[in-house]
Amino acid sequence: MKAQRQAKILELVRERIIETQEELAAALRTAGFDVTQATVSRDIKELGLIKIPGVNNTSYYAAPDEPLVRRGGEDRLKRLVRLSLTDINASENLIIIKTPPGEAQGMASAIDQAHWPEIIGTVAGDDTILIIVKPKEATPQVMQRFLELARG
């Protein structure tokens, strides 16, 4: 029963956005599983589910092996850049993006998951993202892509 329930949990978080344990428990009950919030909490821990940043300061559960690209990819990055980019600047092969407090890590994750070939990595703080571009000659084009995403 536990294996079936946990398989259903993975199916549910892959198919839809589930933000809370209560929401997951309700979905399991609808699927015919008699669960409590405590059982769901243990299952989440055992399955290693993670919380992924969503829109409007929300987050939702995802399987740890599920690529974020599948959950929105370029569209997710576009939405985050449009909502959160407050400033952008560059020097050589480094780009700095400023965001409102608490939003840099979600945007950096979306940048990483977009797999732009010119970006070799990001480092995020609370409201600042450092983007490393290679080759440095690609920095203006990467900056332009971010500005185009910001414009919509």
Structural domains of the chain, count:
2
Q: At 55, is the pLDDT very low, low, confident or very high (cuts 50, 70, 90)?
A: low
CA-to-CA separations, 145 to 5, 28, 55, 139, 148, in angstroms, rounded: 43, 42, 21, 10, 5
Which of these three, 35, 66, 97, is where a domain ends?
A: 66
* pLDDT score of 72 more than 60: no
Say how many residues make up the chain.
152
Strands (DSSP E) found in the chain: 50-53, 59-62, 87-91, 94-98, 119-124, 128-133
Tell me, what CATH number does 30's domain have?
1.10.10.10
- Same domain assignment for residues 83 and 62: no
- According to DSSP, the β-strands at 87-91 and 94-98 are antiparallel
Residue 79 and residue 54 in one domain? no
| pLDDT, tens digit, 9 for 90 and up, residues 104-131 | 988 998 898 888 889 999 999 999 999 9
Give the orientation angle of helix 139-151 with respect to helix 73-84, to 10 degrees. Answer: 80
Residue 54 shares a structural domain with residue 94: no
Report the sign of the C-alpha dihedral through residues 140, 143, 148, 151, in that order: negative
Mark which of 51, 66, 81 sits at the end of a domain. Answer: 66
Overall pTM surpassing 0.85 (yes/no)? no
87 shares its domain with 131 = yes
User: Is residue 33 pLDDT above 60, yes or no?
Assistant: yes
Q: What are the b/e assignments for 103-133, b being 16+ CB within 10 Å?
A: bbbbbbbbbbbbebebbeebebeebebebeb
Q: Which domain holds residue 47?
A: 2-66
Query: 92 and 61 in one domain?
Result: no
Please state, rounded to an integer, the average pLDDT across all residues of the chain.
88
